[in-house]
Amino acid sequence: MANRFVFDFDEPTAGGRDLLGGKGIGLAEMTHMGVPVPAGFTITTDACRAYMDEGDLPDGLEREVDEHVARLEERTGKRFGSSDDPLLVSVRSGAAVSMPGMMDTILNLGLNDAAAEGLAARTDNARFAYDSYRRLIQMFGEVVDGIDAHRFESALSSLKGGRQDTDLTPEELRGLVETFKDIYRQETGSHFPADARDQLLRAVRAVFSSWDNPRAQVYRRAHGIPDVLGTAVNVVQMVFGNKGDRSGTGVAFTRDPSTGSSGLYGEFLADAQGEDVVAGIRTPQPIEAMRDSLPNAFGQLVQTMRRLEEHYRDMQDVEFTVEDERLYLLQTRSAKRTAAAALKAAVSMVEEGLITREEAVTRIDPAQLDQLLHPMIDPTATVEPAAKGLNASPGAASGGIVFDADTAVERARSGPVVLVRWETTPDDIHGMIAAEGILTVHGGMTSHAAVVARGMGKPCVAGCEELSLGDGTATIGGQELREGDVITIDGGTGRVFVGRVPLVPPRINDDFETVLVWADDQRRLKVRANADNPEDAARSREFGAQGIGLCRTEHMFFGDERLPVVQEMILADSERGRRSALDRLLPFQQSDFEGIFEAMAGLPVTIRLLDPPLHEFLPAEDEATDEKMRSRIRALRESNPMLGTRGCRVGLMFPEIYEMQIRAIARAARAVHERGGEPPLVEVMHPLVGFREELARLRELTESVWAEEAPELDHLVGTMIEVPRAALRADEISEVADFFSFGTNDLTQMTLAFSRDDAEGKFLTRYLEDGVLERNPFEVLDVEGVGDLMRIAVERGRGAKPNLKLGICGEHGGEPRSIAFCHDLGLDYVSCSPFRVPLARLAAAQAALKEAGSGSYVAAGG
């Protein structure tokens, strides 16, 4: 049927996740499986998009909602708006991509004074009826009318006066309802709406609008979720966890979301409703506690979770409610999990026969692997934690303390910060993004801070009750700390330290290694590393690099012993003077190359000759010590140094510099070979070439030096493709090149005319905020523009020379989406920083599996 906006959970699901949202599709699928789910219906994302376009609910939607409410009444035998036995519903947001806590939910819609009275009489439980009613007024007031939550919370806490919310008497709750209605009237100037239909339609509008609230926008930007998707809305019959001891609510995972270990994991709160668990109203119990208090519901939960994992063939997390010992599931989705948990779960599921190795490879989000590649606290350091909380999201982080999200953003510009909060709320999202790590006093493993930090791969220690917060101070272990004081947190163990603690680089564990080996079986792209010294080279091999794709030799020109000689070379008036300095640099370069060749033991090593403009090796003019230096600095000054005398232009102006470098490379290769080492496969790479003639001349220089120094050793000569002209004239350039390596940092800079050094600080951040651009092109390859130039270069280059070797060594070589593009383009390899090598291995495998039709997997959607 055209233009249909509403589907019952038990109707055939048309349109899937994109249309029904993650929550809607989960509820529909569970309904079809016969899992106990309350009745209800989903209003589609189409309706949300129409609402955003038109500014109001689209034509026909109200009528459809009425029809589906009528069906719900028939099904439940209750009437919406009735004062005798009222049907109550919740309205829950649910986008196609999971955005935990970003949008809004309202519970208990359908209550008013008379209905609350009726509900109290029907259930013989006035406490429950008025507790539900006060929650409705509060949530409705906050979500629909934007009333500050503190208005309601402070009324509630002054009534409690230190008691638990469950200790309030029915009379007190009835009084609280009156107080809340007064607050509502004061804040909005009108009475709380008593009409159930009116409540429902206003709630639907508010949830649609919440798609565009600032925190949801920030979250989408951080996770690369398009703004146009919109959210679905689920209208669900209420089931009540706040009916007393035989009721409750909780969240559960089919496996431990921190470690991936098998076995039910989660938290449960007796006599509570919906959001209480996440909001940290009372500290929840571990799920195991349900085994004694509610054995039947617990048994049913265990069995249902097993079924769900088998059905989805993936780790699930669910929200559930128990009403008078009856279990209901309110949501299921692929569980948000740490990278370690994702790997362990994937490996176990292969062992259990639940999924194949190929599927296991597609189940891991490559970007998330970064988490495991975070520094850890040095296990050999003797350090005493000042406090301990929950190990909510792994990795260690040090930074200055900040107490609110805005300050986190502000101070993060000048150094790492750790965000310290009583607990986080969705409004803190920008601060969480800016911080290196998050520490909260309150809240469990499923609290907002824990869930969001795990999703972002940020270290987080939650529920650190030993920490107390004052006005602009934090006290840990008897020490009072202020904003800016440094602490270290270890999200893997929950420890908190005062000051900076030594960190060590991460290691790849067995599960990680297993998945990577499976990935290696699938991928076609080779993965190399960008490394400039033997340590990085050795580390990159540990991570599985198959060679070095970029060794930037200018890094070898710095260092106390070398820089003065480099400066002497730059200041020399004659070629003779330059050669004399270069002769002294040569042994340094040679020994660096020997170290790298030895570490790479016969694998290919691409060495790029000097690239930056020479002024980068001289001090600023006002720091220069003598007049000669100052005048040289002035002579080298250029208005656009990035478009100036750099790259191969330096090599052609001062051939003796490149000659020394080539000689050092050839001698190093020979020395390693003569010592019995595997001869390296050396690839000499010339930067910033735009014309065939540039490379032709430099090739001649390379060959003649090589013939003098190491005639018996193989080598290749090639160029970076980082000037648009080089991409366009790739056919003729390939005549004198054995390989191309795309330098997409410069190619992006030159294609977009965005300065690599300035754009982010000047206009690019604003472009991203305003949505002029969806992604930072220095992070994620601009496939349409820069990518098209690459495609032209590949076609023209390989057209002229079919065996031309092709790679990428710009930053994009370590970014999953860009890697997928490089796979599609038919490159031979990607090269990235050593820590990104594992991620690139996985991303390359996923690209190959996608091409083979194994599809892509949306991790943790819901």
Q: What are phi and psi of 337, to 5 degrees?
A: -145, 160
- Cβ within 8 Å of residue 534, ≥6 positions away: 592, 595, 596, 598, 599
Minimum distance from CB of 610 to ligand PEP (Å)? Answer: 11
Q: Counting contacts by CB under 6 A, is residue 532 touching ligand PEP? A: no
Closer CB to ligand PEP, 552 or 562, in the complex: 552
Interaction between residue 745 and ligand PEP (CB under 6 A):
yes
From candidates 78, 357, 552, 562, binder to ligand PEP by CB under 6 A: 552
CB neighbours of residue 732 within 10 Å: 16
Residue among 178 and 616 whose Cβ is closer to ligand PEP: 616
Given a contact cutoff of 8 angstroms between Cβ atoms, the answer to whether 226 and 774 are in contact is yes
Inter-residue contact 434 to 413 (CB < 8 Å): no
Work out how close the CB of 722 gets to Mg ion at its nearest, in angstroms, rounded to a whole number.
5
Compute the 3-state secondary structure of the chain and give helix, strand, coil in percent, each to the nearest 5.
50, 20, 35
Q: Which is nearer to ligand PEP, 392 or 794 (CB)?
A: 794
Cβ atoms of residues 65 and 204 within 8 Å: yes
Q: Which is nearer to ligand PEP, 181 or 552 (CB)?
A: 552
Residue 77 region by backbone torsions, left for phi larger than 0, else alpha for psi between -120 and 50, else beta: left
Catalytic residue (choose from 648, 809, 822, 832)? 809
Residue 59 has which token pair? 């034509």
Burial pattern 432-456, b for ≥16 Cβ within 10 A else e, equals: bbbbbbbbbbbbbbbbbbbbbbbbb
Q: Which of 492, 544, 743, 814 binds Mg ion (CB under 5 A)?
A: 743
CB of 730 to ligand PEP, least distance (A): 16
In the bound state with ligand PEP, the residue whose beta carbon lies nearer, of 24 and 743, is 743
**Which residues 6+ apart lie within 8 Å of 710 measured at CB?**
666, 667, 669, 670, 673
Task: Give the nearest distance from C-beta 722 to ligand PEP in angstroms.
Answer: 5
Site string for ligand PEP, 590-619 (x = CB under 6 A): ---------------------x--------
Question: Please, which residue, 13 or 751, has the CB nearer to ligand PEP?
Answer: 751
Residue 78 interacts with ligand PEP (CB under 6 A)?
A: no
Spell out the residues 6+ positions from residue 763 whose beta carbon is closer than 8 angstroms to its own: none
Annotation says 448 is catalytic: yes
Binding test (CB under 6 A) with ligand PEP, winner from 443, 810, 834, 862: 810
The reply to whether 722 sits near ligand PEP by the rule CB under 6 A is yes
What region, left, alpha or beta, does residue 507 occupy, with left being phi > 0 and alpha being psi -120 to 50 degrees?
beta
Q: Is 744 in the site for ligand PEP (CB under 6 A)?
A: yes
Interatomic CA distance for residues 243 and 236, integer angstroms: 18
* Closest approach of ligand PEP to the CB of residue 790, in Å: 12
The least distance separating Mg ion from the CB of residue 549, rounded to whole angstroms, comes to 13
How far is it, in rounded angstroms, from Cα 113 to Cα 294? 32
- Do the beta carbons of residue 717 and residue 702 sit within 8 Å? yes
Among residue numbers 521 through 560, which ones bind Mg ion (CB under 5 A)? none
Q: Name the residue nearer to ligand PEP (CB basis): 492 or 690.
A: 690
Q: Which stretch binds ligand PEP (CB under 6 A): 312-320, 557-565, 634-642, 743-751?
A: 743-751
- Spatial distance between the Cα atoms of 83 and 115, rounded to a whole number of angstroms: 4
Which residue, 363 or 812, is less far from ligand PEP as judged by CB? 812
Restricting to residues 744-803, which ones interact with Mg ion according to CB under 5 A? 746
The residue annotated as part of the active site, out of 68, 430, 448, 715, is 448
Told to judge if 823 belongs to the known catalytic residues of this protein, a careful annotator would answer no
Binding pattern for the stretch 702-741 against Mg ion, x by CB under 5 A and - elsewhere: --------------------x-------------------
Q: What span, in angstroms and rounded, lies between the C-alpha atoms of 260 and 402?
A: 32
- Burial grade of 766 (CB within 10 A; 0-12, 13-18, 19 or more): exposed
Is the distance from CB of 284 to CB of 265 less than 8 angstroms? no
Binding partner at 87 among Mg ion, ligand PEP, none, C-beta below 5 to 8 Å by kind: none
Residue 809 lies near ligand PEP (rule: CB under 6 A): yes
Asked if 613 is part of the footprint of Mg ion (rule: CB under 5 A), the reply reads: no
847: tokens are 């690209």
- Spatial distance between the Cα atoms of 296 and 90, rounded to a whole number of angstroms: 26
Which residues are at the interface with ligand PEP (CB under 6 A)?
550, 552, 611, 722, 743-746, 809-810
Which residues are at the interface with Mg ion (CB under 5 A)?
722, 743, 746
Please identify every residue annotated as catalytic.
448, 809
